[in-house]
């Protein structure tokens, strides 16, 4: 992620984080099923999705601690 994207993430609300987290978790689940069935060509997308989920969870924790 670029600094610009991280800055945009910091401006989101808790509700937006939750929605984005669910979307990314669903995407990861789908990518894993596709990997096992041999449909995924780019394995790095799974790793990148995991990193995005970790960032979202981190920002959610920061947001909840600040309240």
Mean predicted confidence (pLDDT) in 26-44: 92
Q: Among residues of the chain, what percentage have pLDDT more than 70? A: 97
State yes or no: pLDDT of 42 exceeds 80: yes
Residue 6 lies in a domain: no
Give domain status of residue 48, yes or no. Answer: yes
Length of the chain equals: 67
- Residue 46 maps to a domain: yes
Q: Which long-range contacts (CB under 8 A, 24 or more apart) does 26-31 make?
A: 28/53
Q: How confident is the model over 6-33, as a mean pLDDT? A: 91
Residue 34 included in any domain: yes
CATH number, domain containing residue 46: 1.10.287
Would residue 1 count as lying in a domain? no
* Backbone Cα Rg of the chain: 14
Residue 4: the pLDDT is: 84
pLDDT digits over 47-58, tens only?
999 999 999 999
**Helical residues (DSSP H) of 11-43, grouped into ranges:** 14-37
Return all residues near 45 (Cβ < 8 A) that are at least 6 apart: 31
Range of the structural domain that residue 59 is part of: 14-66
Task: Give the sign of the dihedral formed by CA 41, CA 38, CA 54, CA 7.
Answer: positive
Which pLDDT value is given to residue 67? 66
Of residues 1 and 36, more confidently modeled = 36
């Amino acid at each position: 992620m670029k600094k610009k994207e991280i800055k945009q993430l910091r401006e989101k609300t808790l509700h937006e984080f939750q929605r984005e987290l669910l979307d990314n978790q669903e995407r990861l689940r789908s990518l894993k099923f596709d990997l096992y069935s041999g449909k995924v060509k780019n394995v790095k997308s799974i790793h990148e999705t995991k990193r995005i989920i970790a960032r979202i969870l981190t920002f959610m924790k920061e947001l909840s601690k600040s309240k």
